[in-house]
Amino acid sequence: MTFKLELSNNKIFKDIFESISNIIDEVVLECDSEGIRLKALDRSHITFVNMELTKDLFDEYVCSVPEKLNIDTSEFIKVLKKCKTSDILRLTVDEGNVILIFEGDATRKFNLRLIDMNYEPATPPKIDHPVNLKIPSNVLKDALTDMSIFSDKIKFIVNQDYLIIKADGTFGDGEIKYLHGEHVTDIYTSLFSFEKLKDMMKASGLSETCILSLGDDIPLELTFELITGDGALKFLLAPRLEETD
C-alpha cells in the first residue's frame, strides 16, 4: 500500500474540511512523504485556502509515492461527519477511490470516488500586512456572530490600542473592542463579508488562538495553527469593494 494514514483525533479533519467545504467545492490534496498540502481559490476568486498538515500529526502516515487526491469537498465532509469522536479514522486510496474506515464499536467503511478536475496550483498574492494580531479564536468568533445581527458586512478597524469590529445596519449598529497589546503606529480600516468570515471561523476549533493580519482595504489573512503544532490552515479573504467610512 503506497498511501495510508491513521488519526485518532479525527475532529481535526472534520473541522478543517467543514470549513473548506463551505468555501471551495473541489480541491486537490497533494500528499508526499512529508505530509498533506492543499492550495485552492474559490470560484469567485474571493477566498484563498492554504492547508499544510505534517506527517507528525498522524498516528500513522505512509506515502511512499506522491499522490494527488481530487476531492469533492461537500461529499467528503458528509462522510467525515459520520466519524464518531471516539472513532479512529483510517484513510487509504485504491483504484480511483478514497477509502475511509472508522474504527470504533463497529468498523464502518466508506468508498468515495475521486473526481476528474483540471488542476492548476493556485498561488496567493504576496501581501505585506502592516498589522498581525494574535487573538483568542472564541473572541473573534463571538464578535463576528454578535455583529452579524445588524449587517452582512463587517468592518475591522485597528488603531494603536484596539481591534474594533463594527457593523452598521438599517435597524441598528454595534461595536466590539479588543485590546490587542501589539505595537501599531497607524489606523487601518477594511470591510469584509460576514458569510465568508463565518465559513472561515468553522475552523476555530483547531486552535485556541488565531492570527489576524490586516491593512487598509487589502485582503485579510486568518491563520489557525494546530494546537498539536503539526500544521496550519490559512485563509486569505478579499475586502468588500465599498466605501468603508
List, for residues 68-115, the tens digit of each pLDDT value. Answer: 999 999 999 999 999 999 999 999 999 889 999 999 999 999 999 999
Q: Taking 80 as the threshold, does the pLDDT of residue 241 lie above it?
A: no
Q: Quick one: pLDDT at residue 80? A: 96
If pLDDT is split at 50, 70 and 90, which confidence band does 125 have? Answer: confident
If pLDDT is split at 50, 70 and 90, which confidence band does 124 have? Answer: confident
What is the CATH code for 131-218? 3.10.150.10
Q: Quick one: pLDDT at residue 245? A: 45
Q: 3-113 has which fold?
A: DNA Polymerase III; Chain A, domain 2 (3.10.150)
Across 22-129, the runs of DSSP E, i.e. the strands, are 26-32, 35-41, 47-54, 60-63, 67-72, 88-94, 97-103, 107-113
The C-alpha cell 461529499 sits at 75
Nine-digit cell string for 87: 472513532
Q: Taking 90 as the threshold, does the pLDDT of residue 219 lie above it?
A: yes
If pLDDT is split at 50, 70 and 90, which confidence band does 244 have? Answer: very low
CB 1 within 8 A of CB 92: yes
The chain-wide mean pLDDT, for the chain, equals 94
Q: Give the number of other Cβ atoms within 10 Å of residue 198's Cβ.
A: 17
Q: For the chain, which residues make up each domain, given as ranges?
A: 3-113, 131-218
Q: Taking 50 as the threshold, does the pLDDT of residue 231 lie above it?
A: yes
Topology match between the domains 3-113 and 131-218 = yes
Q: What would the pLDDT profile of 167-187 be if each residue is shown by its tens digit?
A: 999 999 999 999 999 999 999
| The overall pTM is greater than 0.75 | yes
Interior angle at CA 13, CA 9 and CA 19, nearest 5? 140
Q: Is 22 helix (H, G, I), strand (E, B) or coil?
A: coil
The C-alpha cell 472564541 sits at 138
Q: Taking 70 as the threshold, does the pLDDT of residue 224 lie above it?
A: yes
Nine-digit cell string for 143: 464578535
Q: Quick one: pLDDT at residue 227? A: 85
Q: What would the pLDDT profile of 129-139 be if each residue is shown by its tens digit?
A: 999 999 999 99
Q: Taking 90 as the threshold, does the pLDDT of residue 117 lie above it?
A: no
Question: For 102, left (φ over 0), alpha (ψ -120 to 50), or beta?
Answer: beta
